[in-house]
Amino acid sequence: MLDQRNIKRLAAQAGFDLCGVAPCRHLAANEARFRRWLGQGYQSSLAYLERHTEKRFDPARLVEGARTAVVCAVAYKNRTSDGYPATCRTKIASYACTTDYHTTIRNMLRGMLQALKAAYPGLEGRAFVDTAPLAEKQLAVEAGLGWIGRQSLLVTPQFGSFVLLGELLLNDETDAYDTPFEGSRCGSCRACIEHCPTGAILDERMIDTGRCIACHTIEREPDTGIDLDGWIFGCDACQSCCPYNRRAPQHRNPAFDTLFDPAELDAEAWRALDERQFTDCFGTTPLTRSGLERIRGNIRDKR
């Protein structure tokens, strides 16, 4: 049986700000809600979300024998997280101003998993960072880290929604599990809904990805045309207005220090870049997911 306190100690040593532990179980209510969302077509161009739904909400189907979910979060708030001037037309989501979090968090989790395997011979598990069908935000709620806000993101009391998640699914139980986070602390606040430029945030904590700026600038582009409101990669509009995010501290883990300042790159600077310069400057950041050509194509007033 795994020691919960040891798991949390390893998470802190790895550089995570939060860690919670939850038993693996079928999240039936969340699966039913997700299927209703799919049935309404709100996934738009994100067809991959239609696959492996049964695994997404039952960790034991994703990793055979999984009994424990270790959910880790690291805060990433930086100087761009509070927003941009209204006149800026080359806005970039603040998480994308750092080294790609997939690489960073995966390495942090792998270090934890190696240490756990050394301490517990026979332990098996897998690390996940946003690339597998896993309901990680709901698992974070189950592990007591926070609640799902109106903008459908995990909101933590300490760091708001400016957190990135990673998980370990393990084939053993722990001596104690965290209490799931009960309820929501959004109260009557509707700031995220009111500040979404395209009305993509719906009732019941749902998102219409066909109207979501982040989807239009990064994912396979939906058929619907929208005003990108000056965003060229991702969007922080529903986060920078959140009261929890406004009072959240700046990130503490130096692995999430910013590598560039988007405010220093106007449309002309982006258009002047060639592919080699783009790779030299941004090759380790999430911007490579879209690539230079698409980013330049997003620099326009209307879509």
Enumerate the β-bridge partners of residue 73.
18, 165
Contact call for residues 94 and 81 (beta carbons, < 8 A): yes
Contact call for residues 71 and 167 (beta carbons, < 8 A): yes
* Six-digit token string for 185: 């602390």
Q: Which residue blocks in 4-100 are alpha helix, DSSP H?
A: 4-14, 28-39, 53-56, 59-62
274 Cβ contact partners less than 8 Å away, ≥ 6 residues apart: none
Active-site residue flag, 130: yes
Cα separation, 212 vs 206, in Å, equals 11
Of 3, 82, 130, 172, the catalytic one is 130
Burial of residue 177 (CB within 10 Å: 0-12, 13-18, 19+) is middle
* Six-digit token string for 118: 């050394």
Cα separation, 221 vs 112, in Å, equals 37
Residue 190 CB neighbour total at 10 angstroms: 11
Residues 5-9: contacts with CB under 8 Å, at least 24 apart: 6/116, 6/119, 7/70, 7/112, 7/116, 7/174
Catalytic residue list = 130
